[in-house]
Amino acid sequence: MNASSVPWKIQLQDTVNLATQWPNILHVSLFVVILTFGLVTNIINTIIFSRLGIKTSSNLAFLALSTSALGWSIRFEETLRGLS
């Protein structure tokens, strides 16, 4: 029997491939979560401020939040790479 035709060996190899790529997957997913949180917070703040009659620069706030999210996700990834 050929070793490449054994299903568990193929599945194990896929798991190893995924394990070597997990920091990249984690980086992207963490960035998306933080960015989504920033967008939702920005929308809520814009609604609250508009009801109070305060004009905000929401585009600038969103740009600051997304830049911060990118910076934190990169730092988090570097920390995790240092631990492994």
The yes-or-no verdict on residue 37 having pLDDT over 70 is yes
The whole-number pLDDT of residue 75 equals 72
Model confidence band, residue 39 (pLDDT cutoffs 50, 70, 90): confident
Percent of the chain topping pLDDT 70: 40
Burial of 69 (0-12, 13-18, 19+ CB in 10 A): buried
Q: Which sequence spans correspond to the domains of the chain?
A: 22-83
pLDDT at 46: 75
Is 84 a residue whose pLDDT tops 60? no
Q: Model pTM?
A: 0.40
